[in-house]
Amino acid sequence: MDIIEIRTEFIDEDKDQPRYQFDEEALQELMNSIEELGLLSPIKVRTTGDGRYKIIYGNRRYKACKALNRPTIPCIVSTATDETEIYLEQIAENLTRSGFSPIEEAEAFHKLLTDPKFSMSTKYLSSKLGKPESYIKNKCSLLNFSKKVKLLITAGTDIRKDKLTEDQLIPIKDLPMEHRDSLALIIARDELPVSDVKKIARLFKDKSLSDSTKSKLLYKSGYELLETWSVFEQNKAERAKPVPEKATAVKKAKADTTSPSTAQEPAKPSESKPVAAAGASIEGQLHQLLASLPAPQPLDAEALQMQAADKAQLLTDIDVLLNSLEKHMAQWRRVKELVEA
């Protein structure tokens, strides 16, 4: 592999290459290194005719050399002409370099997958770059976030204020846009670790919470959302606990006393009818439900003056109550229709 010196003015940047963001501080550090030690790694170019060359990779080194007014740059001259292979080589090279942002990477993958000039499958791209298909899909999912969120995404895993890592965004990438982008900004502002983001994501993916309740939760801080998640999970666990045997026996005894015919004399086998048995069971359930419902009372508006976390829990509990009542009403309306028929 021959390395030749090419005059700087004969080299052109590739405006379509995957990497276009260059950190000024890092560029200055590279310039200082070149001034002191020289350019240690050549750039790679291809001929374009008329004695000119276009960069395949090494744009940042080219920028540094040009800023230092170096007359020539050491180059490897490629004979490649296939645009797909050149673009894949550019991506592969940038994946080994620091500063290649997740969004630049995502846009490069998306271009290979969707641009008619390339039209690759995820499986083929995975095999060419040696990256799992899930890696490519997760990167592309970053493009679903708003421009405001994209500007905050940085490489690496360090949690920083008003910045976002890919790991922080993956748990919320499948949420509806109206929840996803707002949550991303909360996560960046409050520097939430990935473990906390996963908890909040589970809260917003829970189908028992209405969209209106979830929208109200977006006015909270990240830490308030964690408190809401904790209370919500505790309440869900309490509701999931089995009814104690003693309580079940009491309920059964009450149901039995509401049906005098069964208490006085059991029906003879020859007289038993499925319809009558079902009717008695429904009547018992109705009496039990009526006995358990308290009389409606006016609600005290002053009771709504409460802490923000309490309000969120109240809204959650109200949603659960309303869902339960609506199911009861639907069932009893059906029973009424059948009785009236």
For residue 95, CA distances in Å to 26, 46, 89, 119, 298 come to: 17, 20, 10, 21, 65
Tokens of 332: 């009893």
Q: Is the pLDDT of residue 5 over 90?
A: yes
CA distance 8 to 72: 5
Among the residue ranges 240-249, 272-281, 311-320, the one predicted with the least confidence is 272-281
Q: Is the backbone of residue 120 left (phi > 0), alpha (psi -120 to 50) or beta?
A: beta
Contact 92, 19 (CB under 8 A): no
User: Which tokens belong to 174?
Assistant: 């499948």
Q: Are 64 and 128 in contact (CB under 8 A)?
A: no
Query: What integer best gives the mean pLDDT of the chain?
Result: 83
pTM: 0.64
Report the percent of the chain where pLDDT is more than 90: 50
Q: Are strands 52-57 and 43-49 parallel, antiparallel or unpaired?
A: antiparallel
| Nearest Cα residue to 45 out of 4, 73, 77 | 77
**Residues 76 and 41 sit within 8 Å (Cβ to Cβ):** no
Mean pLDDT computed over 123-138: 94
Gap between the Cα atoms of 273 and 270, Å rounded = 8
